Structure 1
Amino acid sequence: MEETLTTILEEEEEQEETTDQPMPDVPQNPNSLASDDASDSHSESESDSDSEDESQQKVELQTLETELSSNPSNYDSHVQYIRLLRKMGEIEKLRQAREAMSLLFPLTPSMWQDWAKDEASLATTQPEAVAAIEKLYERGVFDYLSVSLWYDYLTFVQEYDPMVRDCLPAGISKARNLFERALTAAGLHVTEGIKLWEAYRTFEQAILLTIDESDIQAKEKQNQRIRTLFQRQLSVPLVNMKSTLQAYKAWEVEQGKVLDVESSDLDGISSHVATAYQKALEGYNARVHLEEQISRQDISDSERLQQFVIYLKFEESSGDPARVQVLYERAIADFPIASDLWLDYTRYLDKTLKVGNVVREVYSRATKNCPWVGELWVRYLLCLERGRASEEELAAVFEKSLQCTFSTIDEYFDLFLTRADGLRRRLSFTGEVGDYSIIRETFQNASDYLSQHLKNTEGLVRLHGYWARLELNLGKDLNAARGVWESLLKICGSMLEAWKGYIAMEIEAGHINEARSIYKRCYSKRFAGTGSEDICHSWLRFEREYGTLEDFDHAVQKVTPRLEELQLFRLQQESKSTDERENSSKKKAREKRRPGSDLTQEQSPAKRQKDAAQNPKKAYGKDKAHEPNLVETNEVEEMNAKIDNENSRNEQMKDNYGKQQMKDSTPGKTKVYKDQCTAFVSNINLKANSEDIRKFFSDVGGVTAIRIPQDKFTGKSRGLAYVDFSDDAHLAAAVEKNKQMLLGKRVSIARSNPNRNKKDNSRSDGQREHVHGADHSSTAGGSATQKHRVDNVPIKGKNTFAVPRAVVKPLGWTANEPKTEEGDEKPKSNDEFRKMFIKK
């Protein structure tokens, strides 16, 4: 048998080689010694080469066997192992390897064809051998849709089955059943299904030839069978429909009808056949473009898969479930491990067919192709339950699913719950007598497996709660139900839901004292969030509804100190949190007041006024050279607000303000900008960046730097920009672009000159350019506007000690003498100082 298989493989290799190779030169004298020596040398070299190849194959074979023994799930190693065994002619090992792989993975159609071909080459004379090969074909057509595999199967049966070959009634019936199965599975394949239709017609026509000419009735019956096949095929959208129509017309002519075979019209054909043909032709024309897209070889696999999805949506909209199913089968044959494709396929079958062997078989193949998808296993179990599968089959599928590796623990959780649901329904509603211990064992396995992964989660509480209810209601075992809750408390004792579920079960069962004892065990425990308070209040409500007065008083006695303790703890935590927030705020305030930060100028007028009203010290801050204590009156606030409103409308003050925002990265140091050749641009779109402004001035040229001031708090653009140019000529050209559009807004462009504000003349260029080392938020170091505020403040009353010395100089004060004021001989207490602030 090994020699036979080796011969087949050699013939296949010879067929694969090109036939246009030049023939080797034939020696003129075949009897010459030189020719004999060359021939002997060539034979020896071939023998040595074969020996080396054989030893190399053995080494490779041993390596693959070692790999598969350590990792049976390696698909590629299985394929290589089978290919090598087939090449070496190791028949028994090859059978075992193929069987081992088929248990783990679905084989491709080509692998099934090779297997069947190898077995057919060894023995086809014995009936049991033919039956074994037919089983191989059956297994092959189950895995994937393949027209070529079905065609080989049909051809093998017609050739090697004696009853079919001799056209015996039993053989004819067997062949017809097989052809009908093939048409159901792949007859709607648009591009390849025609092969099966034509093979079926050829078979029926061969049977017609075996009927005796005198048996007119039998011949007429067979002719009608062939006519029906033609008409069925013409009603299906397939390739070459016009040629099929012509073949049908030619056949009818042979039967005595007068038809124009060459024409494509439907004259002489029955109306129902013509209508069905026209409809099928329209369907084919609607699918031609889609067939071309899924058959393209110049696109990637992901793009082809997407084209299949588009095609599937079209078929689903047409409303023919058979066509949708065939197209899904074609798609998964090309993309067998596309899990989303299997999920969509099974979901469609659940919606349209719901029950039946078809759906069950699809789920079986789906879980075999994509065993790592937990949802497929869950829906497989539900499908088996709908189909009234036996407990043995359900248990086998469930056990097989647990051997798979899923990506999330939730998939295992859902799988256990699905199995428990099915067992509960079987015992509760179907009337079948079952053993409750199966449910208990399932939950115990789930708890053992999931507890380490779902500790202190709602999912684990849900699982045990479900288990405990079934123990109580189906198992009729209260102690077992309590044992479930107690085992959960050992794992999730810090979860309030676990205790409340245990208590709820006891109350539902009417065991009030047992529920009370659980409250006593858990009321003093610490739970997350407000759980500790909740369990205390829950105990009080429980005693109000179920307990006596003594029980209620006892609960109050226990719960009250616990609630006080918890309240004190909450207050401490809130105080600690408040302190942390205040410290954080103070830290931020100190960072804002550090040298180089002009807090007063950076804040808006409304913000400064609000801060001054709420916290005078914070509003004015402390300077290293001055330490004022200023009490602002309502008159001062109103006057400062008016000044701020006037300044906010001054366009040139924006220029000054923007310049003060250009800070160097070194704390306490301001970067110098003389603006000798700078354009000030305003009304800029807030989305504009430096690149947009540079493009705007690209026709002018000469741009050396661009600065966009940003808001300190939001970090967004203020709608202003400073553009430095290399010389005055470029600057003048840039100013001429005034009022032009930039990103949808008409910008204003002027030569930058912050010194033209007369109120700011007190600061010379030298003052602006020196390095600032003091705090800019102090009153003495403020701008002219700030001086204008304080110089006009009317000082009234005796409490002038709280006014900065820069504002009020008491009578008799000199630089060398400390001032003495009435009423300031004795330091004031905190209460007196507070009353002074709120007196008015």
Structure 2
Amino acid sequence: MAETETVVDPQPSKEEEEAANGNEEHMPDVQKPSDDSDSDSDSDDETQEKAQTEALELELYNNPSNYDSHVQYIKLLRKQGDIDKLRQAREAMSALFPLSPEMWREWAKDETTMCSGEDAFLEVEKLFEQGLSDYLSVALWCDYLNFVQEYDTSVRECSTIGISKARNLFERAITAAGLHVAEGCSIWELYREFEQAIVLTIEETDSEAREKQIQRIRNLFHRQLSVPLVDMTSTLLTYKTWEADQGVTVDVNSSKCDGLPSHFVSAYQRALGMLNARADFEEKISKKDVDDSEKLKEFMTYLKFEQSSGDPARVNILYERAITEFPISSDLWLDYTRYLDKTFKTSKIVRDVYNRATRNCPWVGDLWVCYLLCLERCHASEEELSSVFEKSLQCTFSSFDEYLNVFLTRVDELRRRISASTQVEDGINYAVIRDIFQRASDYLSPHLKNTDSFLRMHSYWAHLESKLGKDMIATRGVWESLLKISGSMLEAWQGYIAMEIEMGHINEARSLYKRCYSKRFTGTGSEEICHSWVRFEREYGSLEDFDLAVQKVTPRLQELHLFKLQQENQTVGAPTDERENLVRKNLREKRKPVSSSMDEQSPAKRRKDLDQKNNKAYGNDKGHGRHLAEANEVAQVHDSKADSASTKETKNHSPRKPVIYSDQCTAFISNLSLQATDKDLRSFFNDVGGVGAIRILTDKDKRPRGLAYVDFSDDAHLAAAVEKNRQSLLGKRLSIARSDPQRGRGKKTAGRSSKFDRGEMNSEVSVESSKGRRGPQPQSAGQGHGDDVQLIGKNTFAMPRNVRALGFPSRDKPQSGEAKELGDENPKSNDEFRKMFLKG
């Protein structure tokens, strides 16, 4: 092998193609002058390529699992012709990833150019075998077959051993890709050409051997034409021509089967019908300008069709074609492996496919689980099972439940093997199971604590410690370790107690009840454990034990009941101060808006408010008070009629009282995912406990605003909830703080009403003026009778205090005529208004 020879595989230029075709005489015989700029350009390119190579080497050193960097690095080394580095880069990548058929063909081609000697031939042959194990590729099979015929001496010389080797290889290729509808005919043609070449090596005098070889070729034609492949008509004409050369009378120009054996004709017609039935599917999956998702969908439709035909070999070939097109489609791999499990079960082909599936999609936990089960069905060795299990734990799954599933699958396999075996085989004992459980607990406890899946794992672990390990101390140790991690989970205590009762350990179960009856559990868990203890003593304990349990749980239940009533009063009780409610409503982002319009008040309510405002405006003037009392008596007659009418009207349409939230022990949550639900929040605070009502804020169109309030049973639970601030829920970091309704309610500004503090309008006055009422208008606090400012309308609060709104009269000047009756004067024009300001 020449060490200095470089690998060059660029696309030839047009001039190079002409030179290769013998067209050198058409090229001008002129020597191009050398140019310093060309050499400088070449130097710059080399410097740039070297920098790129070093950058890729550093990237692969830091991140060897970067697939794209491997591909770019190999392309760059191949362009530079660095054989040693190129070979090392390819080997490193193939150890981590399956290579595409194109990369395998390039690698084999590069190594073939340096092939010299038997050792080199074996290395290239090994490369072809590796490449064919990754993906189905007819082109790679053809390269392999041509390579063997050219470089294997025994095959080239048509020795008995060489012919046998070549035929075995051709039969493997036919089995692997001979049913490929679009490309399989290439392998059949190579096979026929090889057999026809053997005829030339047989002596004319050996008629028996010659006739036997001719019959072998005829059988190959018959086999090929009984398979639905493209260009079947062309293959038929080739076959008829060959038969004519052998002395058979056939019409070589006709596509009909006249003069051919009847069994061959029926097989050919059946294959032609199968090809026609698949022509539409083949056309759809062979389109180049189709989106990948659409193309994959067409493959799945084609697969359903093939599965309905009931030929597993054809289904298998089509799955391989789809995998080659979409090597990292996890759904496709899962569908493929499920089909193989159902069809072949323990065949070696199933194990090989699972191995390839986990190499292409290592992030799918279900594939690893099914792989372990497949190995168990095939009675794989403990070494292979352990190796696959350890590889799976090095992968990155999308959820921790997938890791748990892999751990438990390995435990299941070991349990079945130990239970079924009468003697310890391959060094397997229960200590291996205990080690796997411990690794699972250490790795998953930070992520799955207080979950049902974590509880089930420890329950399973404790069961095996008791049944297989025969160690009660270790069994209790499993439960104690779970309580240390998830002690606030009621189900953990219940499972521990149930195990002790099942095994007849009554005193141990009683001691567990004594440890946990006073603990605080979520929901009604605290009450439930108390009642459970009493039931336990009723069924298993003595009278003294029963009395002790009742004595212990009674004050605890009373305490829980009282606490529950306090929480209900805090959340349901409504404050009596209406102004307090309005302020809280605004501070709490108007969760339950309450209308303050006088139109929604009853006449009696409006009269009462009016009396209070008039008394405040006129002070303790008894005369005014007497006149107002007389006016109110008259108004009562009118209001009583209105009240009776409104009572009838509102019997069927009484407004629903707004729910008032006190927020005494509430967490305010912001930056909440818009997809989050009450269930998500409750699950998020499950480890904290004490969760009460949950209120997710929405806008007027009922769309989530990313805000929520969560009530807790007491301050301890609330403090624990606030500690979860900045933790993620549904991909968003939550902002959690204690809700404080009093925040932002500063002191009222002197001389200004609370409504103006909140930026609200004097809607009562505007409503009455819109109805044309002339009664005495209420004045705002701190405003005397002589002020010219009249706060009437929507925007008058922002006007200067020495300017009254246009079009409204002054109460200091008497009104006359029509203006007096209307309670208004003619509005000033723009010019009059301008002159008024100029005079001022």
So what's the TM-score if we normalise by structure 2? 0.69
Q: Output aligned runs, 1:464-503, within 5 Å.
A: 464-503=458-497
Distance 2:121 2:593 in 1: 92
CA-to-aligned-CA distance 1:45-91 (integer Å, 9 cap, x gap) = 66555444434333222222111111111112111221222222222
Q: Distance in 2 between matches of 1:553 and 1:172?
A: 94
Pairing 1:26–2:29 present: yes
Tell me the equivalent position of 1:624: 610
- Counterpart of 2:8 in structure 1 is 9
Q: Which of 444, 449, 460 is the matching residue for 1:450?
A: 444
Aligned to 1:90: 82
The aligned counterpart of 2:318 is 327
- How far apart in 2 are the matches of 1:248 and 1:362? 37
Name the structure 2 match of 1:79.
71
* Corresponding residue number in structure 1 for 2:689: none
Alignment of 1:216-295 (within 5 A): 216-295=207-286
Tell me, yes or no, if the aligned pair for 2:602 and 2:646 is still in contact at 8 Å: no
Q: Conserved in 1, the CA contact under 8 Å of 2:490 and 2:525?
A: yes
Name the counterpart of 1:101: 93
Aligned runs of 1:193-232 on 2, under 5 Å? 193-232=184-223
Task: Report the counterpart of residue 577 of structure 1 in structure 2.
Answer: 571
Check conservation: 1:150, 1:182, Cα contact below 8 A: yes
1:121 corresponds to = 113
Q: Is the 8 A contact 2:192 2:217 kept in 1?
A: yes
Q: Give the letter for the 2:509 counterpart.
A: A
Structure-2 change in CA distance of 1:113 and 1:382 (3 Å):
same
* Other-structure match for 2:155: 164
1:194-221 C-alpha deviation (Å, 9 max, x unpaired): 0001111111122222233333333333
Kept in 1, the 8 Å contact 2:281–2:298? The answer is yes
> With structure 1 as the length reference, what TM-score do the two structures score?
0.69
Distance, in Å, in 2 between the alignment partners of 1:339 and 1:715 is 40
Mapped to 2, the partners of 1:715 and 1:77 lie a distance apart of 49
1:595, 1:773 within 8 Å by CA — same for their partners in 2? no
Deviation string 1:434-479 (CA, Å, 9 cap, x unpaired) is 2211111111110010000112111211111111111111111111
Q: Report the AA paired with residue 109 of structure 1.
A: P
Match of 2:377 among 362, 374, 386: 386
Separation in structure 1 between the aligned mates of residue 774 and residue 315 of structure 2, nearest angstrom? 80
**Bigger radius of gyration:** 1
Question: Shift in Å at residue 534 of structure 1?
Answer: 1.2
Aligned residues of 1:596 and 1:773 also touching (Cα < 8 A) = no
Greater Cα shift, 446-455 or 382-391: 382-391
Question: 1:343 & 1:773 partners in 2: Cα distance?
Answer: 83
Deviations 1:551-573 (A, max 9, x none): 22222222222222222222222
State how far apart, in whole Å, the 1-side matches of 2:572 and 2:45 are.
Answer: 83
Distance 1:81 1:772 in 2: 91
1:129-208 aligned within 5 A:
129-208=120-199
**How many angstroms apart in 1 are the aligned matches of 2:402 and 2:768?**
74
**Equivalent residue for 1:532?**
526
Q: Which residue of 1 aligns with 2:795?
A: none
What's 1:594 paired with? 596
Q: Partner residue of 2:57?
A: 65
Q: Determine the structure 1 residue equivalent to 2:818.
A: none
Offset of 1:415 from its aligned partner?
1.4
Distance in 1 of aligned mates of 2:9 and 2:413:
55
Query: Is the 1:409–1:453 contact (alpha carbons within 8 Å) kept by the matching residues of 2?
Result: yes
CA contact (8 A) 2:602 2:643 kept: no
Query: Unaligned regions of 5+ residues in structure 2, if any?
Result: 613-628, 654-699, 703-766, 779-840
CA distance, structure 2, for counterparts of residue 574 and residue 765 of structure 1: 41
Distance 2:509 2:460 in 1: 19
Equivalent pair of 1:5/1:118 in contact (CA under 8 Å): no
- Shift of the 595–310 alpha-carbon distance from structure 1 to 2, 3 Å rule, reads same
CA contact (8 A) 1:374 1:412 kept: yes
User: How many Å separate the matches in 2 of 1:394 and 1:583?
Assistant: 73
Asked if the contact 1:398/1:419 (under 8 Å) is kept, the reply is yes
Letter in 1 for 2:131: G
Residues 592 and 599 of structure 1 are in contact (CA less than 8 Å); yes or no, is this contact kept in structure 2? no
Structure 1 residues 67, 638: closer, same or farther in 2, change over 3 A?
A: closer
Q: Which has the higher contact order (CA 8 A, sep 6+)?
A: 1
CA gap 1:394/1:581 in 2 versus in 1, 3 angstroms = farther
In the TM superposition, what whole-angstrom CA distance separates every residue of 1:681-728 from its partner, at most 9, and x where no partner exists? xxxxxxxxxxxxxxxxxxxxxxxxxxxxxxxxx999xxxxxxxxxxxx
AA partner of residue 600 (structure 2): D
Give the letter for the 1:497 counterpart: E
Matched, 1:514 2:508: yes
**How far apart, in 1, do the equivalents of 2:341 and 2:176 lie?**
19
Report how far residue 773 of structure 1 moved. 11
Cross-structure match for 1:352: 343
Q: How does 1:595-674 map to 2 (within 5 A)?
A: 595-599=597-601, 622-625=608-611, 640=645
The 1:599/1:313 distance shift into structure 2, 3 A limit, reads farther
CA distance in 2, matches of 1:94, 1:771: 99
Asked if 1:552 is matched to 2:553, the reply is no
My pick for the range that moved more, 359-368 or 423-432, is 423-432
Deviation at 1:142, TM superposition (A): 0.7
RMSD across aligned positions (CA)? 3.7
Is residue 306 of structure 2 the alignment partner of residue 303 of structure 1? no
Supply the distance in 1 between the matched residues of 2:502 and 2:607 (Cα, whole angstroms).
67
Contact 1:595 1:774 in 2 (8 A): no
Partner Cα distance (1:293, 1:416) in 2? 42
Letter in 1 for 2:46: E
CA contact (8 A) 1:68 1:78 kept: yes
Deviation for aligned residue 1:96: 1.1
Q: How far apart in 2 are the matches of 1:638 and 1:621?
A: 12
**Cα distance in 2 between the residues matched to 1:514 and 1:631:** 77
Q: Give the distance between the partners of 1:133 and 1:114, measured in 2 at CA.
A: 12
Q: Secondary structure at the match of 2:277?
A: helix
Q: 1:417 to 1:715 in 2, by over 3 A?
A: closer
Q: What amino acid is aligned across from residue 26 of structure 1 in structure 2? A: D
Farther off after superposition, 483-492 or 320-329: 320-329
- Going from structure 1 to structure 2, the CA distance change for 1:233 and 1:554 (only over 3 Å counts) comes to same
- What secondary structure does 2:251 align onto? coil
Structure 1 equivalent of residue 456 of structure 2: 462
- Structure 2 CA distance for aligned equivalents of residues 430 and 19 of structure 1: 74
Taking every aligned residue pair, what percent have the same amino acid on both sides?
60
Distance 1:11 1:592 in 2: 79
Aligned partners of 1:234 and 1:241 also within 8 Å: yes
Larger deviation, residues 503-512 vs 575-584: 575-584
**Residues 2, 90 of structure 1: 8 Å contact kept:** no
CA offset digits 1:786-807 (Å, max 9, x no partner): xxxxxxxxxxxxxxxxxxxxxx
The 2-side partners of 1:631 and 1:379 are apart by 85
In the TM superposition, residue 641 of structure 1 has moved relative to its aligned partner by 9.3
Q: Which amino acid aligns with 1:489?
A: L
Change (3 A) 1:337 1:600: farther
